[in-house]
Amino acid sequence: MLAIPHLLTGALIGKVAEGVPYALPIAFVLGWLSHYILDSIPHWESYFPNKNNPYFETDDPIRKWPKSVLLSIFLDFTVGFFLIFFYLRDVNFWQTAVFWGSIGAIAPDIIDNVPFWNRYVEKIPVLGSMRKFHQSIHISNDQKKYPKYLGLVTQLIVITIVLWIF
């Protein structure tokens, strides 16, 4: 999924965990697990091919990534983190479960999908298996056949539910 639904879901987990003992690590771990659950829901990804953006592998070096894809990823992360930091603007963010929940929730994409290091992660014992698991949860080849709006609607539903509960 895009970064925004992941970050907001992690933030919500953190908000719920706030106050329980060990809230920060609990929010981080549950946020991390939520990543796989959300990724198992059919969704659109910004790196899916379209007419302006031919097929490329996310394992390709960054110079091969289409500019439109890099821009949409940049916007996605910027908006997502802006929302988190805006919510936490009056507190020390690193001491909140909301922050650590959202970091846990985006961690699998940061570790597994950033082209500067994703090919090396694959070779590290535990991280390599986790990356394979992360990839296997995406049924992306099937998803690429569905219209883009459907893959966006599922994410919009997740965002709406999360903001509703928040």
Q: Which residues bind Zn ion (CB under 5 A)?
A: 39, 109
18 vs 154, which CB is nearer to Zn ion? 154
CB 86 within 8 A of CB 14: no
Residues paired with 165 in a beta bridge: none
76 vs 109, which CB is nearer to Zn ion? 109
**To the nearest whole angstrom, how small is the minimum distance from the Cβ of residue 39 to Zn ion?**
4
**To the nearest whole angstrom, how small is the minimum distance from the Cβ of residue 138 to Zn ion?**
7
From the CA atom positions of the chain, what is the Rg in Å? 16
**To the nearest whole angstrom, how small is the minimum distance from the Cβ of residue 109 to Zn ion?**
5
**To the nearest whole angstrom, how small is the minimum distance from the Cβ of residue 93 to Zn ion?**
23
The SS3 call for residue 47 is coil
Burial 7-30 (b: 16+ CB within 10 A, else e): bbbbbbbbbbbeeeeebbebbbbb
39 vs 76, which CB is nearer to Zn ion? 39
7 vs 88, which CB is nearer to Zn ion? 7
Bin 19: left if φ > 0, else alpha if -120 < ψ < 50, else beta. Answer: left
